[in-house]
Amino acid sequence: MMKMQRRRCTSFLRDYISHFELRELTVLNRRGVRPIPARPSQMLVFHLRATAGCDLLDHRTGQVVPTPSAGVMGPQTFRAVDALWLGNFRLFVVVFGPTGFHRLVGVPMVELANRVYDASELLGGSVRQLHEELHGAAGLEQMAQIAEAYFNRMAERARRFHPVQIAAAEVIARHGSVCVDKLARTADLSVRQFERKFAEQVGMPPKLYCRVSRLSFLMRLKEAEPHRTWTDLTYLAGYFDQNHLVKEFKALAGAAPSEFFRLIVNGFTPDRAGENAQTSDSY
């Protein structure tokens, strides 16, 4: 499996950042392919070794594009890309809360959906200094402290709290099983106003965000208990039946459930790729 360490951020930043991760992965002999399904998270990813051998296959164009050494990955509404790995990788990842990147940077999140940007395009030249400091850090704890100092300065100029933040957090907490009309009423907005604000701050309409959040929860369940049947997981994740699950999987992950997980196994078997990639947040 990919070696992964996690560390929550300090309480002051939890309105913006969920947690930090340090990931390490070695892929040898043959390029590994990791399909990336729809998912709600927004991430800032720093490569702490060379990015040679780490590319993205864009399904919209068929082109293979290099991964930026420091990249911002917005939320995904479908399987837009697959990650291609070959080599020895070490990554520090900042995983933002549902509205965190928008509040810190101010960019409309719909512009980031299904896209990967070089971090300097959105954060300016200061992110290069942050990247250099992360290179010199001893481990996750020191990396997290360096990143917190950087984002603490940004938080001083962050956008004000908006009720959409609570609504998006509830979607995640309830794995998509919420009523959008009720969320709008709680936010004291009309449904149309709520949908517009939600897309601006989160990156997709609320109903689609519910679907993506449910799929993300299902994948975490399967990852934690790979021997559970799809029948069990269908109802645990809140789908009506298996037909509903398969339809959603094809729409949001580009393949039926068993086929999608077979793609991961075939792309990262010990004989072919040295390590196995987790299905949650890597890219």
DSSP structure string for 216-251? HHHHHHHHH-TTS-HHHHHHHTT-SSHHHHHHHHHH
Q: Which long-range contacts (CB under 8 A, 24 or more apart) does 130-138 make?
A: 130/46, 131/46, 131/69, 131/70, 134/46, 134/48, 134/92, 135/48
The predicted structure's pLDDT at residue 268: 56
In a domain, 273, yes or no: no
Cβ(37)–Cβ(183) below 8 Å: no
Same domain, 173 and 249: yes
Q: Would you say residue 272 has pLDDT above 50? A: no
Which pTM was predicted?
Answer: 0.91
In a domain, 274, yes or no: no
Instruction: Kindly state the average pLDDT of the residues 172-191.
Output: 97
In a domain, 277, yes or no: no
Q: Which helix (H) or strand (E) holds 22?
A: strand 17-35
Q: Quick one: pLDDT band at residue 199, thresholds 50, 70, 90? A: very high
Q: Quick one: pLDDT band at residue 270, thresholds 50, 70, 90? A: very low
Q: Would you say residue 280 has pLDDT above 80? A: no
Helices 206-224 and 164-173: angle between axes, nearest 10 degrees: 30
Q: Quick one: pLDDT band at residue 273, thresholds 50, 70, 90? A: very low
Q: Quick one: pLDDT band at residue 51, thresholds 50, 70, 90? A: confident
Residue 247's domain comprises: 164-267
Give strand pairing partners of 4.
23
Question: Model confidence over 81-117: pLDDT tens digits?
Answer: 999 999 999 999 999 999 999 999 999 999 999 999 9
The tokens of 106 are what?
Answer: 């101010």
Q: What is the CATH number of the domain that holds 211?
A: 1.10.10.60
In a domain, 282, yes or no: no
Give the integer Cα–Cα distance in Å for 184 and 59. Answer: 34
Question: Model confidence over 231-250: pLDDT tens digits?
Answer: 999 999 999 999 999 999 99
Q: Domain count for the chain, please give it.
A: 2
Same domain, 113 and 183: no
Same domain, 91 and 170: no
Q: Please tell me what DSSP assigns to residue 81.
A: E
Same domain, 194 and 177: yes
Same domain, 62 and 148: yes
Same domain, 66 and 177: no
Same domain, 139 and 12: yes
Length of the chain: 283
Q: What is the CATH number of the domain that holds 90?
A: 2.60.120
The predicted structure's pLDDT at residue 29: 81
Same domain, 175 and 213: yes
In a domain, 111, yes or no: yes
In a domain, 74, yes or no: yes
In a domain, 280, yes or no: no
Same domain, 59 and 107: yes
Same domain, 93 and 228: no
Same domain, 189 and 226: yes
